[in-house]
């Protein structure tokens, strides 16, 4: 039974942002008996996990890979719903097609024997090492899951004996590519198992070795396509949240978080002032802090500090509704340019556009006929590019000038994976540049994946789920621990919800994940 410190009315929580993390928190808090209001500045729920609809065509705005549904399945079950009933999904096989500019292709499949055969066509010696990669990363994931399920609020959380025992397995001193060199000698194969670092907006040559678990997750637990796209997931979450009593107000941008005596006591929107016992922020962290909370009220995360942090890459997006369908092109295709390392240098160091960029295409209509009118299909085209480097007028890329040229280059690149004659077939088109991510979605520097996941910005060094600068304020989403990616964001929702309920002296009405003990950690590590 819920305990509420003697209050006669339910606790009231305001959630800023109806992205996947905010909606998951809303469901969990509502289940615990909390009165929840979600404020969303846009006209639809989902944030970057929402849907663009144009002329009968539907496109995911952001995420298109749905991985590791276990976490969200548990949140749905907690709330009294069945994810697989509410959001039908197709497990993809092949998962995606990798095309290497240096030569060769890899049709990635979760079938181990077929995957070994596919690797052998490029590097026979590496095919024999697939089992070893899977075994080691199965152990790595099992070992690290407890840390993905627990808050990290100080360096002391790192100093536990169990965590120290895990260091040889996690090898934080190695990059992802260095870690993969233990398994695969051919750089193309390593790229095939490390391009997933782009889910975090990072280079495999800079990304910590821990994230080899991303490709492992795909092969062990599957790559899924929700019918209607990933936006259908957040739409279902919003519907369920409303059924559970959550108020969701759209077209309601938050202008300010009210802070009194160092604690969040409510928010101000363009139309309302709402009091709250706690405020949860599900928005781009740096963008939200700079907009909603005066600089002097933030001790640790000041504007000056935020400006010095490392941020992920951005993306140049093309959403194309076309006549006909490219039936021979896979649901997901990743093209890895021959000059992949130079691409990354252009993005991360030189902050300029590449002449031969890598790219990703989702051709989802080969799987899902609901996304386009009959006889038509959708193409989602993503090219990783530099984030914005300064204030307006001082960025290294002028997107108003560069967009037409880069668009033409993108069409030329598509020919390398068999997508030709696109322009003539376009019925609807939308482009989003880093400048648009910044202006339309309030992403600081247009960094699509928020703060980078470097070692100096992970665990307790990321903004905390229980926000350290302001009491009664909590964070959820890719900008806080554990980080970016839908399954990890859903895990951040569980962490944040548990902390908030703990602080309010409210018993959760779901089975909580108990932090693993040091003895258990030692056992896992060994």
Spatial neighbors of 165 by CB under 8 A, at least 6 apart, are 521, 522, 525, 526
The domain boundary, picked from 221, 255, 280, lies at: 221
- Same domain, yes or no: 84 and 100: no
- Same domain, yes or no: 458 and 439: no
What integer pLDDT is reported at residue 213 of this predicted model?
87
Tokens 């076309």 belong to which residue?
322
Residue 524 located in a structural domain? no
How far apart are the C-alpha atoms of 49 and 69, rounded to whole Å? Answer: 15
- Same domain, yes or no: 419 and 483: no
**Chain Cα centroid distance, residue 207:** 15
- Same domain, yes or no: 83 and 97: no
The domain boundary, picked from 422, 446, 470, lies at: 446
Residue 3 located in a structural domain? no
Are 386 and 402 in contact by the 8 Å Cβ rule? The answer is: no
Q: Residue 319 sits in which domain range?
A: 314-446
Residue 7 located in a structural domain? no
- Same domain, yes or no: 435 and 362: yes
How far apart are the C-alpha atoms of 37 and 279, rounded to whole Å? Answer: 10
Residue 78 located in a structural domain? yes
- Same domain, yes or no: 31 and 132: no
Of 71, 66, 74, 76, nearest to 27 by C-alpha is 76
R_g of the chain computed on alpha carbons: 22
Structure confidence by residue, pLDDT tens digits, 377-388: 999 999 999 999
- Same domain, yes or no: 298 and 329: no
**Chain Cα centroid distance, residue 252:** 24
- Same domain, yes or no: 233 and 216: no
Phi-psi group of 450: left, alpha or beta (phi > 0 → left; psi -120 to 50 → alpha; rest → beta): left
- Same domain, yes or no: 216 and 70: no
Residue 525 located in a structural domain? no
Residue 442 located in a structural domain? yes
pTM of the predicted model, to two decimals? Answer: 0.91
What integer pLDDT is reported at residue 521 of this predicted model?
36
- Same domain, yes or no: 97 and 205: yes
Averaged in consecutive runs of 10 residues, what is the pLDDT profile of the chain (526 residues)? Answer: 46 96 98 97 96 97 94 95 97 96 94 96 95 92 78 67 64 84 94 85 82 90 96 98 98 96 95 95 95 95 94 96 97 94 91 95 97 98 93 74 97 97 97 96 93 79 93 95 89 96 90 44 36
CB atoms within 10 A of CB 250: 14
CB atoms within 10 A of CB 159: 9
How far apart are the C-alpha atoms of 241 and 234, rounded to whole Å? Answer: 10
Mean pLDDT of the chain: 90
Of 453, 472, 471, nearest to 462 by C-alpha is 453
Using alpha carbons, list the distances in angstroms from residue 477 to 46, 277, 513: 12, 20, 19
The domain boundary, picked from 221, 247, 265, lies at: 221
Are 343 and 358 in contact by the 8 Å Cβ rule? The answer is: yes
Tokens in use for 263?
Answer: 């604690």
How far apart are the C-alpha atoms of 165 and 33, rounded to whole Å? Answer: 39
Tokens 């016992």 belong to which residue?
277
- Same domain, yes or no: 40 and 136: no
DSSP codes of every residue in 283-339: S-HHHHHHHHS-GGG-SSS-HHHHHHS-B--EEEEEEEEEES--TTS-SEEEEE-TT
Residue 51 located in a structural domain? yes
Would you call 150 exposed, middle or buried from its count of C-beta atoms within 10 A (0-12, 13-18, 19+)?
A: buried
CB atoms within 10 A of CB 124: 11
- Same domain, yes or no: 332 and 439: yes
CATH label of the domain that carries residue 18: 3.50.50.60
Task: Count the domains in the chain.
Answer: 3
Residue 69 located in a structural domain? yes
């Amino acid at each position: 039974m819920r305990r509420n410190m003697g209050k006669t009315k339910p606790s009231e929580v305001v959630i800023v942002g109806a992205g996947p993390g905010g909606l998951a928190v809303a469901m969990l808090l509502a289940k615990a008996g909390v009165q929840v209001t979600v404020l969303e500045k846009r006209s639809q729920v989902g944030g970057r996990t929402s849907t663009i609809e144009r002329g009968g065509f539907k496109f995911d705005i952001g995420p298109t890979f749905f991985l590791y549904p276990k976490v969200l399945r548990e949140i749905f079950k907690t709330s009294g719903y069945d994810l697989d009933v509410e959001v039908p999904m197709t497990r993809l096989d092949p998962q995606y097609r990798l095309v290497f500019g240096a030569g060769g292709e890899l049709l990635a499949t979760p079938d181990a024997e077929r995957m070994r055969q596919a690797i052998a066509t490029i590097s026979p010696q590496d095919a024999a090492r697939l089992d070893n990669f899977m075994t080691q990363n199965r152990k790595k994931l099992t070992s690290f899951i407890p840390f993905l399920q627990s808050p990290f609020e100080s360096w002391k959380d790192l100093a536990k004996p169990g965590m120290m025992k895990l260091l040889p397995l996690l090898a934080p001193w190695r990059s992802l590519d260095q870690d993969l060199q233990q398994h695969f000698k051919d750089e193309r194969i390593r790229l095939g198992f490390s391009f997933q670092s782009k889910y975090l907006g990072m280079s495999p040559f800079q990304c910590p070795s821990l994230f080899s678990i991303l490709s492992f997750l795909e092969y062990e637990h599957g790559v899924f396509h929700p019918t209607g796209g990933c936006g259908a997931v957040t739409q279902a979450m919003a519907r369920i949240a409303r059924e559970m009593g959550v108020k969701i107000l759209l077209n309601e941008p938050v202008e300010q978080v009210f802070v009194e005596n160092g604690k969040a006591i409510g928010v101000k929107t363009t139309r309302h002032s709402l009091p709250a016992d706690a405020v949860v922020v599900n928005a781009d962290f740096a963008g939200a802090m700079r907009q909603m909370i005066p600089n002097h009220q933030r001790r640790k995360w000041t504007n000056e500090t935020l400006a010095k942090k490392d941020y992920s890459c951005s993306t140049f997006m093309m959403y194309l509704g076309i006549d006909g369908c490219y039936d021979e092109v896979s649901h997901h295709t990743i093209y890895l340019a021959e000059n992949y390392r130079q691409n990354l240098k252009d993005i991360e160091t030189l902050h300029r556009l590449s002449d031969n960029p890598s790219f990703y295409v989702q051709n989802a209509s080969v799987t899902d006929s609901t996304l386009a009118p009959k006889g038509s299909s959708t193409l989602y085209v993503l090219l990783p590019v530099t984030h914005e480097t300064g204030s307006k007028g001082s960025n290294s890329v002028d997107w108003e000038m560069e967009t037409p040229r880069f668009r033409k280059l993108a069409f030329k690149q598509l020919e390398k994976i068999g997508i030709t004659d696109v322009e003539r077939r376009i019925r609807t088109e939308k482009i989003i540049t880093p400048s648009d991510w910044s202006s339309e979605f309030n992403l600081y520097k247009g960094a699509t994946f928020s703060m980078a996941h470097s070692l100096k910005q992970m665990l307790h060094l990321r903004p905390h789920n229980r926000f350290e600068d302001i009491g009664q304020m909590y964070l959820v989403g890719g900008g806080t621990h554990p980080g970016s990616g839908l399954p990890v964001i859903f895990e951040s929702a569980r962490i944040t919800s548990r902390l908030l309920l703990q602080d309010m002296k409210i018993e959760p009405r779901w089975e909580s994940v108990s932090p693993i003990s040091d003895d258990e950690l030692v056992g896992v590590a060994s």
